[in-house]
Structure 1
Amino acid sequence: MNDSVGEGLSQQSEKAVSKEDLEAFLRKRVQELEEELRTLKALLEYIEDAGKLSPTERAEDVKVGRRRVARVLRGESYVRAVPEVPMALPREVREYLQTVEAEIRAYQAKSEAGEGVKLVIRERPDGTVAEVKFDGLFTTLEVLKAKAALKYAMETAYEVYRAQLRSKGAEEEEEGAQGPEGGAEDVEGS
């Protein structure tokens, strides 16, 4: 009998310890989640701030047809493009931008202005582009070349994005067209 009483007490103390452990675990987990939430909010603010216009920047719209797909913003020593449409940069467009960066770098080396140009592509967590920026531009020619490259890159990326949407829509239409035809044959056969 004493053994059963001892077992009962040990089970009760285990339950009490388990409850304390659970409380400690839950408090720790809540702190971790709050810290993660703060980090995610900071990231979101950082990404959203990329599209805001600084008072020292000059903005120019990039349009395809009537639709504004991006804004090219020119600052004191940089040019950046901020897409209005969530789209990814295709590999070919990235390579083109890197080629332009190399050309500007070569121009800077010839003019002894130093190799200060740097291409920065910031992406969102979902893989779309938040901002593309040429930093370290000193002459008007460098700025114009970078601006033209960014406009071309945004237009091309949007065209690729639109083509992908069309191909997805065509695939869905083909799948939808096959479904009703099969249903019609079943009705006719009965």
Structure 2
Amino acid sequence: MAEIHGPQRLGPLTPFVGDWEGDVGVDLSYHNKDDETGQTGYFEKAWFHPIPMQENGQQQLEGLKYGMVAWRHGEEAMEPFHDEVGYLLWDKQRGQVMRAVVFGRGIAVLAGSSAGPRDRTLHFNSRPGNPDYGILQNKYLLERAELRSFDSTFTFNDDGTLSYTSDLVLKLAAQGGKEMHHTDRNTLRLVKRIHPGSDNA
């Protein structure tokens, strides 16, 4: 029997709505203290809650406010090593998804790409200097760990889980200006369903 869908005003963002957790995260990054690249396992909490429709003149955007926080395995009772907040936005008329995100390290990104209303895999891409999907970073990072590109993908799996990958290309002064790929991946499961019209959405 075919799955029956409603209007889904959030388009491809519809399945995100709710609170999620995942404990199979893997972070590959440069570790300053050890002066080497290594992998770190992590536990993560994420939430995606609907916002009122946003209007820019004739443009109408549906969206979600979201947050993602991660702790290294064994440090769940301590401060997280990663914290981000932002918005996922859907421009139905132009067929665009956007991820407006601020990282606690002093980085702001607007990333996006084309998407259909029922796509199960969404891509968010950004490059410094782009007039639309671009990257801003603080002066220290520009000198020591310049972010050259940002690419992330979210995929809704058949078992109801949400997987993501992210790839940040960094130019590291500590490695003689060489570029490296800082990557993250995790699979999250829904732990609390949020109705778009509820008070805690």
- Flag the structure with higher helix content: 1
Fold equivalence (TM over 0.5): no
TM-score by length of 2: 0.25
Larger Rg: 1
Q: TM-score, normalised by structure 1?
A: 0.26
